[in-house]
């Protein structure tokens, strides 16, 4: 699974994973960028999707938003990291139930950084650090921000991790003359514009692309998590026949060889 970034739209990943789980389809490899890393990490830590759904739909945004003096970002990110430490039970990557990677970007070199070791919560905190909103994560000479800057949907990363079949979830880039309502919308929509062409190339590495319809949900609409989850469920159900056919073909090939 390659779970893409998209702030509040990323709650759609929960719906996609629910449908795949109900169909008996389990991912052995998960790569996530930004919100995709948040959902992917908690999922790989073994937290039931029902618990993740309740948290997304019933919690207030201030559970993970700790506003700070805007030197490097408006949100410190410590609260998000503490929540992730709780949900993942402070697990390292080696302790997860599935092979997981969080994608981030090094502001100093401009390079993609694939994090696959250390504490999961810290890595996800870096992957979700939207530039200008969350304070970057500094590790020595490396300054890490949101993985969506370099790889919005981490299909290439999932492929490089050894995945035979890559199912990507793209929660969308929507430029429909919708006016931004606050700073998160301004920054997220600006990144969307910059990433339009880049996203096409990363999706070339996917065998299946699930695209929930989230045009009415802005990046900052965290209160509409339930709608995003439903959109993820609907999009996944539409792709299920294709996914089953693809997986059956791979299984048959493996048996023959």
pLDDT digit string (tens) for 15-67? 999 999 999 999 999 999 999 999 999 999 999 999 999 988 875 555 555 55
* CA dist., res. 246 & res. 173, Å (int): 26
- What is the pTM (predicted TM-score) of this model? 0.87
Residues belonging to the active site: 34, 146
pLDDT digit string (tens) for 204-253? 899 999 999 998 888 878 889 999 999 999 999 999 999 999 988 765 34
For 147, which DSSP code? G
If you compute the radius of gyration of the chain from its CA atoms, what whole number of angstroms results?
17
Structure tokens, 147: 């993985």
What's the start-to-end Cα distance of the chain, in Å? 25
């Amino acid at each position: 699974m390659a779970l893409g970034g998209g702030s509040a739209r990323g709650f759609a990943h929960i719906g996609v994973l629910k449908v795949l789980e109900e169909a008996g389809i389990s991912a052995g490899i998960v790569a996530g960028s930004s919100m995709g890393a948040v959902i992917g990490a908690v999922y790989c830590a073994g937290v039931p999707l029902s618990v993740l759904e309740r948290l997304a739909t019933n919690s207030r945004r201030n559970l993970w938003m700790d506003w700070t003096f805007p030197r490097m970002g408006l949100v410190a990110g410590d609260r998000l990291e503490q929540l992730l430490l709780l949900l993942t039970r402070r697990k390292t990557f080696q302790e997860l139930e599935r092979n997981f990677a969080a994608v981030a970007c090094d502001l100093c070199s401009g390079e993609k950084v694939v994090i696959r070791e250390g504490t999961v919560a810290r890595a996800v905190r870096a992957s979700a650090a939207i530039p200008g909103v969350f304070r970057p994560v500094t590790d020595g000479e490396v300054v890490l921000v949101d993985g969506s800057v370099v790889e919005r949907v981490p299909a290439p990363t999932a492929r490089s991790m050894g995945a035979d079949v890559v199912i990507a979830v793209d929660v969308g880039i929507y430029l429909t003359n919708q006016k931004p309502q606050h700073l998160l919308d301004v920054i997220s929509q600006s990144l969307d514009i910059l990433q339009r062409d880049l996203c096409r190339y990363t999706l070339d590495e996917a065998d299946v692309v699930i695209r929930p319809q989230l045009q009415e949900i802005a990046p900052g609409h965290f209160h509409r998590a339930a709608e995003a989850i439903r959109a993820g469920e609907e999009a996944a159900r539409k792709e299920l026949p294709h996914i089953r056919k693809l997986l059956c073909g791979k299984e048959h090939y493996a048996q023959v060889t």
